[in-house]
Amino acid sequence: MSPKVTFDLHATDGKARTGVISTPRGDIRTPAFMPVGTAATVKAMMPESVRSTGADILLGNTYHLMLRPTAERIDRLGGLHKFMNWERPILTDSGGFQVMSLAALRKLTEKGVTFKSHVDGSKHEITPERSMEIQKLLGSDIVMCFDECPALPATDEKVAESMRMSMRWAARSRDAFGDRPGHALFGIQQGGVTQELRAESAEKLREIEFDGYAVGGLAVGEGQDAMFGVLDYAPDMLPVNKPRYLMGVGKPDDIVGAVARGIDMMDCVLPSRSGRTGQAYTRHGVVNIKNARHIDDPRPLDENCSCPACRNYSRAYLSHVFRSNEMISGMLLTWHNLQYFQDIMAGMREAIAAGTFTSWQADFHAGREQGDV
Ligand SMILES: CNc1nc2cc(C(N)=O)ccc2[nH]1
Ligand SMILES: [Zn+2]
């Protein structure tokens, strides 16, 4: 643990990096995957179970928590860590992405966004200053700048206009965040899939200076080829000695490809959301447990997995409880998926440290060629 937030790079293999982000609440081994704890819970999981999968840090959603139970109530109750019984690091997003995708009657101006809550229709406003205030009330360790992630498709001028406003909001976020030892503020690079705009955004963020840098504006429907095309150059535009966080990514092969291109941190709802819909990610591909082929199958999901679902239950059982809409179905498949995602991260950290990341990637891709297993 460290009184400040620091980032130490331990090894690189090609563009891939492994290291540690040290914070007062604990260390984050990178490359790191952050389970998403939207409404102060990683759905269907106890915090200690999330920790048992190897997660060092969780993500909390500012948009959801500001609406319910409100940041002020969480602050009065001792902050988000105490509230949700997770004492390790938490990164909170700024609310910018979700207000644009979830809220009703949104009005976006230079000042910020006014909107009506999707929960009860109440009126709210998020600005860079209000986002910093909310994230401070929540007590999160890593705070994200308030930005706009333009929906695709978007013209180059719309992407440029949006990015430049996000850079002005980044400066306002920096000013409002102030000086908070032990807490970090991350800037977010925008610019769509246009290299010149990405470079302009990175330059502006470097001028303002942040504790870490996110690659935003991706995983919004552009597809893996276009995303990797951006990641072939965008991370290199960011300071080499600071964490690089790719927001909202992704499937296992997205994650591996992002780490191979220099990304250190990622978050995605996929392992938990797909667990609730009967999809299990394994070393050999995706298991759709609702498929009839699993009804009498006595084997575990993945014989190499250490999670409770794989140690104690058969596919036949998982098929039964999914079909019966039993709560244990979402619990077991979520636990398995989170464990598998963390096993991928641990495998990459070890391979990068050993200089064997290229062969690790070959094994990873070979193992998954079977598709639906
Ligand atoms: C799920 N995809 C995704 N893309 C994202 C982009 C941002 C962003 N701020 O550009 C934030 C969250 C995101 N989630
Ligand atoms: Zn498992």
Residue 318 has pLDDT above 80, yes or no: yes
CA–CA separation, 282 and 294 (whole Å): 15
Query: Of ligand 1's atoms, which has the minimum distance to the CA of residue 188?
Result: 9
Q: Ligand 1: list residues with CB < 6 Å.
A: 96-97, 147, 149, 188, 216-220, 247-248
Quote the pLDDT of residue 226: 98
pLDDT at 90: 99
Q: Which ligand is nearest to the CA of 187?
A: 1
Q: How far apart are CA 51 and CA 263, in angstroms?
A: 22
pLDDT of residue 167: 99
Write down how long the chain is.
Answer: 373
Residue 301 and residue 291: Cα distance in Å, rounded? 13
Q: Which two tokens stand for residue 172?
A: 């306002």
- Residue with the nearest Cα to atom 10 of ligand 1? 216
> Rounded CA gap, 86 and 37, in Å?
10
Average pLDDT over every residue of 62-72: 98
Ligand 1 site-directed mutation target among 213, 218, 272, most atoms within 8 Å of CB = 218
* Choice from 97, 126, 189 to test ligand 1 binding pocket (greatest atom count within 8 A of CB): 97
The pLDDT > 90 percentage for the chain reads: 96
Q: How confident is the model at residue 369 (pLDDT cuts 50, 70, 90)?
A: low
pLDDT of residue 343: 98
| Whether pLDDT at 60 is above 90 | yes
- The residue-averaged pLDDT of 15-34 equals 98
* pLDDT-based confidence at residue 15 (cuts at 50, 70, 90): very high
Average pLDDT of the segment spanning 133-153: 96
Task: Write the residue with the smallest CA distance to atom 8 of ligand 1.
Answer: 216
Could you give the dihedral angle defined by the CA atoms of residues 90, 95, 97 and 102, in that order, rounded to the nearest 10 degrees? 120
Phi, psi for 372 (deg, rounded to 5): -80, 115
pLDDT, tens digit (0-9, with 9 covering 90-100), for 196-249: 999 999 999 999 999 999 999 999 999 999 999 999 999 999 999 999 999 999
Other C-beta atoms within 10 Å of 161: how many? 14
pLDDT single digits (tens) 90-134: 999 999 999 999 988 999 999 999 999 999 999 999 999 999 999
Distance 128 CA to ligand 1 centre (A): 17
- Is the pLDDT assigned to residue 371 strictly greater than 70? no
Q: Mean per-residue pLDDT for 286-290? A: 98
CA–CA dist 69, 130 (Å, integer): 16
Contact 80, 140 (CB under 8 A): yes
Strand partners, 227: none
Q: Tell me what the mean pLDDT of segment 44-72 comes to.
A: 98
Q: What is the pLDDT of residue 2?
A: 76
Residues contacting residue 272 through CB under 8 Å, at least 6 positions apart: 35, 36, 42, 43, 44, 45, 334, 337, 338
What pTM value is reported for the model? 0.98
Average of per-residue pLDDT across 320-344:
98
Please compute the mean of the pLDDT values over residues 61-71 and round it to a whole number.
98
Average pLDDT, the chain: 97
- Two tokens, residue 356: 């064997």
On the question of a cis peptide bond just before residue 31, with omega within 30 degrees of 0, the verdict is yes
Which tens digits make up the pLDDT trace of 178-195? 999 999 999 999 999 999
Distance 221 CA to ligand 1 centre (A): 11
CA of 54 to the centre of ligand 2 (A): 13
Look at residue 152 and tell me whether its pLDDT is greater than 90.
no
Catalytic residues: 93, 267
**Exposure string for 100-113, b = 16+ CB within 10 A, e = fewer:** bebbeeeeeeeebb
What ligand has the least distance to the C-alpha of 302?
2
**What percent helix, strand, coil does the chain show, rounded to 5?**
45, 20, 35
CA neighbor of 118 nearest in space, from 175, 63, 188: 63
